[in-house]
Amino acid sequence: MASAAPASQIDLRNRLTTFLDAPPFQTAIVGLILVNAVIFGLEAIPSVYARYGELLMALDGIILWIFVAEIVVRLAIFGPSRFFRDAWSVFDFVVIGIALLPATGSLSALRALRVLRVLRLVSVLPSLRAVVDALLRALPSMVSVAALLMLVLYVGAVIATRLFSATFPQWFGDLWASLLTLFQILTLEGWADIMREILPVHPWAWLFFVPYVLIATFAVLNLVVAVIVDSMQSGVRAAVAEEEMTRDQELRHDIDAEIGQTLRAIRKDIAELKAERAALAAMPTVPARAKPKAASRTKPKSPKGKGR
């Protein structure tokens, strides 16, 4: 009985895991997240909220407790140690935990954070997870690109302040004003208008603005895109390699299982042959009967004829 109980628990755990990971259940969770997003949007419309506010709040509460039940079941299946080792599980736990905080009194501002539940869509859909994973993997390289961009921005701000602070103080009066202006130019927002206003006073100003735009915008920012794309490609290659490794492991497991089954069958046949041989060896031997000697069929000697 003691061994039957753990076996039944393991069987129940496997069934629940299969149910939670099944495509229909995942599709239902995605649908609930989208419905929840629509509810948040309708709550932001005063006329709709004034008319259907209670219904929207009731639906929001039902969806929230469904999410809570899912988190609790996953915690019960995997256990806290395994559950909190998964970054996406921690993300879901934090998002749902924020939604459960009281939103009254001084914490009423937390009510706006309920919309973070929509971000669970990232943890549910594999394609979105892949994009976020690629961005996270690209962060170290992006830090280097950001440092290069800040260096270009700082050098350009120092040069622009020395060149244009006297004539155009509204844009380049000091270092901070120049940094703000060059950051605006970095986004390509109104940089041509700024340059055209400076050109009548400084006809050579294009020698500063055009190289700055080419270097800061088209070169450095494209490095960010290149880093992200390379990270996504690396993620795809890693996923393909992991899938191939998993397939190889499954194939090896199937081959090992087949070989093991064949060996067990051979051992069983050998054991049966040994048992038959032992049974034959244990049987008593019957002594062979001596064959009686056959009577010699000798012809009787005919008496010698007497003389007539």
Query: For the residues of 66-120, what is the DSSP string, one character each?
Result: HHHHHHHHHHHHHHHHHHTTSHHHHHHHHHHHHHHS--SGGGGGGGGGGGGGGGH
Residue where the block lists tokens 């003691």:
2
Task: Check residue 104 and give its pLDDT.
Answer: 59
Q: How is the chain split into domains, by residue range?
A: 10-124, 129-254
Residue 274 has pLDDT above 60, yes or no: yes
Lowest mean pLDDT among 91-95, 153-157, 201-205, 250-254: 250-254
- pLDDT tens digits, one per residue of 177-227: 999 999 999 888 888 889 999 999 999 999 999 999 988 888 887 888 888
Average pLDDT over residues 9-24: 78
Cα–Cα distance for residue pair 35/253, rounded to 1 Å: 43
Residue 126 has pLDDT above 80, yes or no: no
Task: Check residue 302 and give its pLDDT.
Answer: 52
Which residues fall within 8 angstroms of residue 230, CB to CB, at 6 or more apart? 138, 141
Number of other residues whose CB lies within 10 A of the CB of residue 284: 5
**For a pLDDT cut of 90, what percent of the chain falls above it?**
19
Residue 293 has pLDDT above 70, yes or no: no
- CATH number of 129-254, picked from 3.30.420.40, 3.40.140.10, 3.20.20.10, 1.10.287.70: 1.10.287.70
Name the range with the highest mean pLDDT among 76-90, 114-128, 184-198, 236-250: 184-198
User: Is domain 10-124 in CATH 3.40.50.720, yes or no?
Assistant: no
pTM above 0.75, yes or no: no
More reliable by pLDDT, 96 or 162: 162
Task: Check residue 307 and give its pLDDT.
Answer: 46
Cα–Cα distance for residue pair 146/152, rounded to 1 Å: 10
Question: What's the whole-number average pLDDT of the chain?
Answer: 80
Lowest mean pLDDT among 78-92, 201-215, 227-241, 280-294: 280-294
Task: Check residue 277 and give its pLDDT.
Answer: 81
> What are the C-alpha distances in Å from 308 to residues 7, 258, 301, 302, 304?
116, 101, 20, 16, 12
Average pLDDT over residues 239-248: 75
Which residues fall within 8 angstroms of residue 22, CB to CB, at 6 or more apart? none
Task: Check residue 290 and give its pLDDT.
Answer: 54
